[in-house]
Amino acid sequence: MKRFALLALSPFALLAGGNAVAADPIAIGISIAQSPPGSVVQGTQVKDGVEIVKDMINAQGGVLGRQIKLVYEDNQGIPEKGRAASEKLISKDKVVAIAGGHQSSVCLAEMEVAHRSHVPYVNTNCWSDDIRKKGYPEVFNPSNYNTRVSTAMAETIAAMGVKRVVAFAENTDYGIGQAKLMAELIKAKAPNVDFKYETLDRAGKDFTPAILALRANPPDMVINIMLPPAAYIVMNQLYEQGVAPSAKTWSYDGAGIADYPDFWQNVKDAGKYMVSFGLYHPKMAMPDMGQKIAAEYKKRTKNDPNRLIFQAADSLLLIVDAIKQGKSAEPEAIIKTMQGMTFNGARGTFQFSKEPGYKFQQWVDIPYVNYQLTAVNQPIAESVLIQPPGGKLDVSKLVKPAK
């Protein structure tokens, strides 16, 4: 059995229920996009994160004397595929919980199956508020949510003093939901800003017509509410057409894509001067658990970790910790335990909110940052941090291209 020396006395030892015995493993379903049109880069990051945690837990003896087995399904980023994947995981593979969801439209489909079957569903990275508003007791949200990011961005826009803002949103529950929320929050926090959004096909390959319309009268800011690969295409075409980033127009990423491992190889100069909302920055305070996961990820991939690694890790840790605390791997017991437990994870300590609406079973105060990239291939650690987690926003640090 593979051992992790660095974790000999780690918090993972607390999750183990003793030495591994010849008992059936505990099966946990992981539904991710492993092929197009879904966000494969996100799916890869989620898989990397849960694999690290699974290996660490099993090396410490598993939980309740049983090993953890991850059962993967490729949902392709398509709601119908996600629904079928969840049905298979629950009925055929007999998983005790499902995690991994990273695209809102898919999560909304999958959680219906989990709700009907009364199996816990841990939302790894689906931001749509509608997921929370359903109020399903089976659905737990340790991930970011649209109200959180839209509020943070509206406050930044107000502080920057821009007057005209255009957003490009993907045609999904996540993209449209965030764009609509941003319109409401900008109206409340920056009433003098003229904000409009345009919906683009997430499977599109050429967005030139939408971008050319901005050339004659460029806005003060263009916001991205899209996932790769479409997000990268939009960024490159905005740059090629001289729209953004430019001396006239800011580029602001609202999808948290700047720390993806393939970001710079896909955008190059189009990423320079981009302002970004982020859920991870190396200057964030990180618990011991998060530091160990980061070190293991870097050891395995030679890459710096990003937010999805920690979000995925927490999704699996949450399920395992609930099994340990509740002393049961039965879905009903896991749900009950998660509803009341205090969770100490890779990103911090929290309890799930019981407040109805977009805060339901949500980590409400999930930390975030705002930063700017000022050089091509710049590591996130060297970016300009204009708002630290829990700190004040300082837009005076922002810089624009000369032309």
* Fold exhibited by the domain 147-278+368-387: Rossmann fold (3.40.50)
Distance separating alpha carbons of residues 138 and 389, to the nearest angstrom: 29
- Nearest by Cα to 255 from 215, 203, 307, 214: 307
* pLDDT score for 30: 98
Where does residue 66 rank: exposed (0-12), middle (13-18), buried (19+ CB within 10 A)? buried
Read off φ and ψ for residue 204, nearest 5 degrees.
-70, 155
Residues near 255 by beta carbon (within 8 Å), at least 6 away in sequence = 224, 225, 226, 227, 231
DSSP sequence for 344-392: E-SS-EE-----SSTTTTB-TT---EEEE--STT--GGGSEEEE-TTS-
In the chain, list all ranges with CATH 3.40.50.2300.
26-144+286-351, 147-278+368-387
The amino acid at 341: M
Polymer length of the chain: 403
The one-digit pLDDT tens for each residue of the chain (403 residues) are 433 433 433 444 445 444 444 589 999 999 999 999 999 999 999 999 999 999 999 999 999 999 999 999 999 999 999 999 999 999 999 999 999 999 999 999 999 999 999 999 999 999 999 999 999 999 999 999 999 999 999 999 999 999 999 999 999 999 999 999 999 999 999 999 999 999 999 999 999 999 999 999 999 999 999 999 999 999 999 999 999 999 999 999 999 999 999 999 999 999 999 999 999 999 899 999 999 999 999 999 999 999 999 999 999 999 999 999 999 999 999 999 999 999 999 999 999 999 999 999 999 999 999 999 999 999 999 999 999 988 999 999 999 998 7
8 Å CB contact between 252 and 276: yes
End-to-end CA distance of the chain: 58
Domain 26-144+286-351 has CATH 3.40.50.2300: yes
The span from the CA of 248 to the CA of 221, in Å, is: 8
Residue type, 197: Y
Per-residue tokens: 195: 């904000």
Q: Which pTM does this prediction carry?
A: 0.90
Contact 239, 211 (CB under 8 A): no
Tokens of 28: 């946990």
**DSSP conformation letters of 35-88:** STTS-HHHHHHHHHHHHHHHHHHHHTT-BTTB-EEEEEEE-TT-HHHHHHHHHH
Given a contact cutoff of 8 angstroms between Cβ atoms, the answer to whether 27 and 96 are in contact is yes
- Determine the distance from the C-alpha atom of residue 354 to the mean position of all C-alpha atoms in its chain, rounded to a whole number: 22
